Amino acid sequence: MSIPLDATLRGFPTGGSADEATGGTHFPADGALQLPMITLDGPGFDANTRLMMDHVAGYGAKLAPHAKTPMAPLLAQRLLDAGALGATVADIRQAAVLLDAGITRLILANGIGGAAAARRLAALLKGYPGAEFHIFVDSAETYEALCAAWDETLPPLGLLVEIGTDRGGIRRDEDALALARRILSEGRLGLSGLAAYEGASAVADPVESQRRIDALLIRSKALFAQIREAAGPEAPLMLSVGGSAWFDRVLALLGDLAQAPNTDLVLRSGALYFHDHGVYERGLADMQKRGGHLEGAFIPTLRLWAEVLSTPEEGLAICGMGLRDVAIDQDLPIALRLWRDGVPVADIGVTVTKLNDQHAFLHHAGLRPGDVIEFGISHPCTCIDRHSVLWELDAAGRVVAAIKTRFG
């Protein structure tokens, strides 16, 4: 059932209509919209998309952006229209969302479990005979479960043998190669290639993180060469990796594979199109230190807007935004700008100190009840999922679209 666009949603103009909500007549701090609300800088999102698409294409690589970040079919389609090869999902339900929206070239970048999950996937794909579907496998058990669930009425299923170090994925290369060879020799399902997620190898120390990530990428390249030898030169194969915070290392170490015949190097980067004022901002700064050239080129596109509710004591303000509205798994939100009576005012030094369910505690000098704070966020993947609608802003900061999310 479609989510109605009405006054039950954060960001909707109270007493207004759906047409008014997205007609470009309101901006988040004008007093008409229900706060808190989340917004997406539409031109910034499109600029980030072009930047990432062009950069990756320069190496001959491709993108299947991870849809788990916004779970918004409209944005997934926007990325496809901009040149993405397909989309990535994290589970069967997410696949159902995109398939229902007509997006049928998918990578399920996760293990699904055993026989019951394999049957659920088969039941889903029975309704989409034209789908091109690739899925991670990291065990004989999952492979056998998928084989048992599949028949000729279903679309072909492509298996990506997953290797890893700190999350899922086969740990020993000889075991990964043995599984790939078994898939090839039995011919019950197709072998799409090899997959890894380098981000799980990162630790607090950036030097050690690069060492670990480089090691996984080098390992992936060597193992992919062995799989290529087993599959033969004519077989189409994919090497798929994550890419958001470490795409520079991915392209530096694996980029030449994108030039090889019958080979796709596919990055699943999903968050950089949104960027942020926290974990990804730091990630690009680290990339710059490693010799990258894109720091500052990506635009943080997400904002949380909330009103000051109370200033109960000197230096303390309570704002109408909390854990139900914004993520803190990486950082607290950052106050970017103060608006008073719909007009931006000079910076008065606002800092978020903690969050409750519905309240943010602000250290400040000079806030008043009714002031609106524009906040930046850290980690789009765990912030957007608190909202059923992303309100898109145009270049003038006016609300021009309601992008519905489907997190389930």
pLDDT reported for residue 244: 82
The answer, yes or no, to whether residue 253 has pLDDT greater than 50, is yes
**pLDDT tens digits for range 178-206:** 999 999 999 999 999 999 999 999 998 99
CB distance 219 to 239 below 8 Å: no
- Specify burial of residue 329 (Cβ count, 10 A radius: 0-12, 13-18, 19+): exposed
Within its chain, how far is the Cα of 390 from the centroid?
14
- CA 310 vs CA 28, 339, 360, 365: distances in Å: 20, 16, 11, 13
CA angle 158, 135, 203 (to 5 degrees): 135
pLDDT reported for residue 347: 75
pLDDT reported for residue 1: 42
pLDDT reported for residue 242: 92
CB distance 243 to 62 below 8 Å: no
Domain 43-273 CATH (choose: 3.40.50.300, 2.40.180.10, 3.40.50.720, 3.20.20.10): 3.20.20.10
DSSP state of 103: -
CB distance 56 to 87 below 8 Å: no
Least confident piece of the model among 15-24, 175-184, 260-269, 294-303:
294-303
Q: What is the CATH number of domain 18-42+297-404?
A: 2.40.37.20
CB distance 157 to 149 below 8 Å: no
Token pair 């004519």 is found at: 234
Least confident piece of the model among 50-54, 305-309, 348-352:
348-352
Token pair 């910034």 is found at: 44
pLDDT reported for residue 374: 97
**pLDDT tens digits for range 320-341:** 999 999 989 999 999 999 999 9
β-strand pairing of 62-63 with 87-89: unpaired
**pLDDT tens digits for range 346-383:** 777 899 999 999 999 999 989 999 999 999 999 999 99
Q: Cα separation of 323 and 302, whole Å?
A: 16
Rg, the chain, Cα only: 23
Q: What is the mean pLDDT of the chain?
A: 96
3-state secondary structure of 208: helix
| Phi and psi torsions of 308, nearest 5° | -75, 125
CB distance 307 to 319 below 8 Å: yes
The answer, yes or no, to whether residue 152 has pLDDT greater than 50, is yes
Q: Cα separation of 382 and 377, whole Å?
A: 10
Q: What count of residues does the chain have?
A: 408
pLDDT reported for residue 136: 99
Peptide bond into 36 cis (omega under 30): yes
Instruction: For residues 230-246, give the mean pLDDT.
Output: 95
What residues contact 3, with CB distance under 8 A and at least 6 apart?
A: 9, 388, 389, 404
pLDDT reported for residue 51: 95
Note if the pTM is more than 0.85: yes
The answer, yes or no, to whether residue 294 has pLDDT greater than 80, is no
Q: Cα separation of 323 and 356, whole Å?
A: 6
Peptide bond into 312 cis (omega under 30): no
Q: Cα separation of 17 and 11, whole Å?
A: 12
Q: Cα separation of 88 and 135, whole Å?
A: 10
3-state secondary structure of 10: coil
Tokens linked to 235: 């077989």
Domain parsing of the chain, residue ranges: 18-42+297-404, 43-273
Taking Cα atoms as reference points, which of 237, 232, 229, 234 lies closest to residue 258?
237
CB distance 42 to 392 below 8 Å: yes
Q: Where are the beta strands (DSSP E) in 33-141?
A: 37-41, 62-63, 87-89, 105-108, 132-137
pLDDT reported for residue 138: 98
Q: Cα separation of 54 and 83, whole Å?
A: 9
* pLDDT confidence bin for 296, thresholds 50/70/90: low
Q: Cα separation of 174 and 363, whole Å?
A: 56
43-273 shares the fold of 18-42+297-404: no
DSSP string, 226-288: HHHHHH-TTS-EEEEE--TTTHHHHHHHHGGGGGSTTEEEEE---STTT--SSHHHHHHHHHH
